[in-house]
Amino acid sequence: MKFDEVINRRGTYSTQWDYIEDRFGEGTKDLTPFSISDTDFKSPQPILDTILERTKHGIFGYSRWNHDEYKNSIQKWYKNRYKTDIEKDWIVYSPTVIYSISVLLEHLVGLDGKVMTHTPRYDGFSKILKPYNLYEAQLKEDKDGIYRTDFIQIEKGFKDGVKVFLLCNPENPTGKVWGLTELEKLISLCEKYDVILLSDDIHMDIARKEVTPVLKIDSKRCIIVSSASKTFNTPALGGSYVLIPMAKLRNEFIEHIKERDSVSSPTIFGVVSTIAGYNHCEKWVDELNEYLTKNCEYVVKELDGYKGLKVRIPEATYLMWIDFKGTNIKLEDLKKALVEVGKVAIMSGENYGDPYKLRLNVGCPLEKVKIGVEGVKRAVEKLSK
């Protein structure tokens, strides 16, 4: 795979490239975007070949997910890549990860119930958590740029009746990977206070540190929601999956998506792309991670220390979490300068709970990363004079 290949995505109904004005305002459609968390890479060839072959068939009627080919591919991926055993019965299809979380919270907590998650956090979490009483556990950055949680704060929330802890592993936007010891401590607190641990692992394959799925540790009160779409850049093909060991909850989830919401029939391209990706594309993922790490290294080399900026290589994801607090530049001024001077569309950290950060997507050819870096430099330099 040539990850350096630049492919024009404009005119393809791309959220990132064709609808910039939705997030950055009128007159911004010509900016270079680094916002939405998909990549500018072609999906691996086995997936493309599978889709083309299926397309030639020419009939796209209703399809099923509950078969060995689909479930075996997921089992194989977790076994080979994470040394984690997943029982076939645990695997359930879902349209999207966020939809899965929303349904599970409704069944586990009930409206107005108590849910805990971390801050900074993925903005999609904030949207679906609005109906609930939200308890926030602050992620704090140490002097080495490592994010650590506050277990005292977590236990306090559990004592106050929190029923579900919503985890993101790895974290979006900070890039934190939850270590084995941390997860064991969190799970032990969940056991002590009868809390369900719901883990969004969609970024798990893009990592520079070993990722431990929570189901490797505990299958009594842990659930994983995930998808192959982030790994292989296939979100527009549709589909995700949930790993639910609890039989009663699993049956309730299946009944909900089938009988209540009528969304249990998957897109055939989502099914076959997952099978092809998990069965044949592990080497491609390794190469992708190598390329993304070099992109991260380039950003750190160019921006860390530049007029007060601070940048670290994230433990996971292709999202750089840039700290501009040391520049003494106001957020609104920087946002305006990035658009008007830098000519780049970069997400502000205020969307995720930290107004002193920027989230830069480096899931793209290095040529584009350089445009983003130079855009940030021009904006900061303009405001530093």
Task: Give, to the nearest 10 degrees, the angle between helix 151-159 and helix 180-193.
Answer: 20
pLDDT tens string, the chain, 385 residues long: the values are 689 999 999 999 999 999 999 999 999 999 999 999 999 999 999 999 999 999 999 999 999 999 999 999 999 999 999 999 999 999 999 999 999 999 999 999 987 899 999 999 999 999 999 999 999 999 998 888 889 999 999 999 999 999 999 999 999 999 999 999 999 999 999 999 999 999 999 999 999 999 999 999 999 999 999 999 999 999 999 999 999 999 999 999 999 999 999 999 999 999 999 999 999 999 999 999 999 999 999 999 999 999 999 999 999 999 999 999 999 999 999 999 999 999 999 999 999 999 999 999 999 999 999 999 999 999 999 999 6
Distance CA 373, CA 346 (A): 11
Distance CA 16, CA 263 (A): 26
pLDDT at position 1 is: 65
DSSP type of residue 2: -
CA distances from 155 to 51, 118, 137, 277, 330 (A): 47, 13, 10, 39, 35
Distance CA 323, CA 357 (A): 5
Instruction: Work out the burial of residue 267: count CB atoms within 10 Å of its CB; fewer than 13 is exposed, 13-18 middle, 19 or more buried.
Output: middle
pLDDT at position 2 is: 87
- Is residue 351 within 8 A of residue 123, CB to CB? The reply is yes
Phi, psi (degrees; rounded to nearest 5) at 354: -140, 105
pLDDT at position 111 is: 78
pLDDT at position 346 is: 98
pLDDT at position 356 is: 96
Cβ neighbours of 55 (radius 10 Å): 11
> Angle at the Cα of 314 (from 311 to 317), degrees rounded to 5?
130
> Which helix (DSSP H) or strand (DSSP E) does residue 91 occupy?
strand 91-94
- Strands laid side by side in the 319-323 sheet: 32-34, 344-348, 357-361, 319-323
pLDDT at position 340 is: 97
Q: Among candidates 384, 117, 70, 7, which has minimal Cα distance to 241?
A: 70
Q: Which two tokens stand for residue 281?
A: 């594309």
Taking the complete model, does pTM exceed 0.85, yes or no?
Answer: yes
Beta-bridge mates of residue 225: 200, 242
**Is the Cα dihedral 327, 329, 335, 340 positive or negative?**
negative
| Residues 92-118 as b or e (16 or more Cβ within 10 Å = b) | bbbbbbbbbbebbbbebbeeebbbbbb
> Which domains can be identified in the chain, with CATH numbers?
15-44+282-384 (3.90.1150.10), 61-280 (3.40.640.10)
